[in-house]
């Protein structure tokens, strides 16, 4: 995979079809309706563009925790051929969290955990769920 860098732009924007397209790829245990609700009630939605094309989106919020405010990367997905989006965008995401004591994200993708470990993120818990709806 090439790691060439292009000029990406990041701009805040309202909920719309591009948010649905990109954030649907990063649902985890959330639903797209939950993400839309968060975007319409205080979470900040950003779009990543390469030229005129939207190549991703991410949703951020701040939670008040006992140790102080914590930045939360609620969801995000992006793709631009030949660009290491994660390396390109994470500094901008982190810079948007002014005054927080830490930043967290939730994922069910082990590969993302490994990639973000290289950027200083460490796992803090493992959540296991047993689905009781199917008699198992």
Inside any domain, residue 55: yes
Inside any domain, residue 130: no
CA atoms within 13 A on the CB side of 67: 6
- The CATH code of the domain that includes 103 is 3.40.630.30
List pLDDT tens digits, range 47-95.
Answer: 999 999 999 999 999 999 998 999 999 999 999 988 888 889 999 999 9
Threshold 0.75, pTM exceeds: yes
Query: Is residue 78 exposed (0-12), middle (13-18) or buried (19+ Cβ within 10 Å)?
Result: buried
Inside any domain, residue 3: no
Distance (Å, whole) CA 11 – CA 48: 7
3-state secondary structure at position 37: helix
Inside any domain, residue 41: yes
**Which residues, including other chains, have CB under 8 Å from residue 47's CB and lie 6 or more apart?**
10, 11, 12, 13, 18, 19, 54, 56, 57
Inside any domain, residue 90: yes
Distance (Å, whole) CA 56 – CA 72: 18
Q: Which domain holds residue 85?
A: 8-117
Domains identified in the chain, total number: 1
Residue 100 has pLDDT above 60, yes or no: yes
Distance (Å, whole) CA 23 – CA 76: 6
| Residue 107 and residue 118 in contact, taking contact as beta carbons nearer than 8 Å | no
Instruction: Assign 111 a pLDDT band (cuts: 50, 70, 90).
Output: confident
């Amino acid at each position: 995979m090439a790691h060439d860098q292009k000029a990406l732009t990041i701009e805040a924007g309202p909920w719309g079809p591009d948010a649905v397209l990109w954030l649907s790829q990063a649902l985890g245990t959330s639903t797209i309706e939950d993400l839309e609700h968060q975007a319409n009630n205080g979470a900040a939605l950003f779009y990543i563009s390469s030229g005129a094309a939207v190549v991703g989106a991410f949703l951020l919020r701040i939670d008040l925790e006992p140790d102080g405010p914590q930045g939360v990367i609620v969801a995000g997905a992006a793709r631009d051929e030949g660009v290491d989006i994660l390396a390109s965008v994470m500094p901008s995401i982190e810079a948007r969290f002014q005054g927080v004591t830490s930043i967290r994200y939730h994922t069910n993708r082990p590969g993302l955990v490994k990639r973000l470990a290289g950027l200083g993120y460490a796992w803090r818990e493992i959540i296991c769920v047993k689905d009781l709806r199917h008699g198992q």
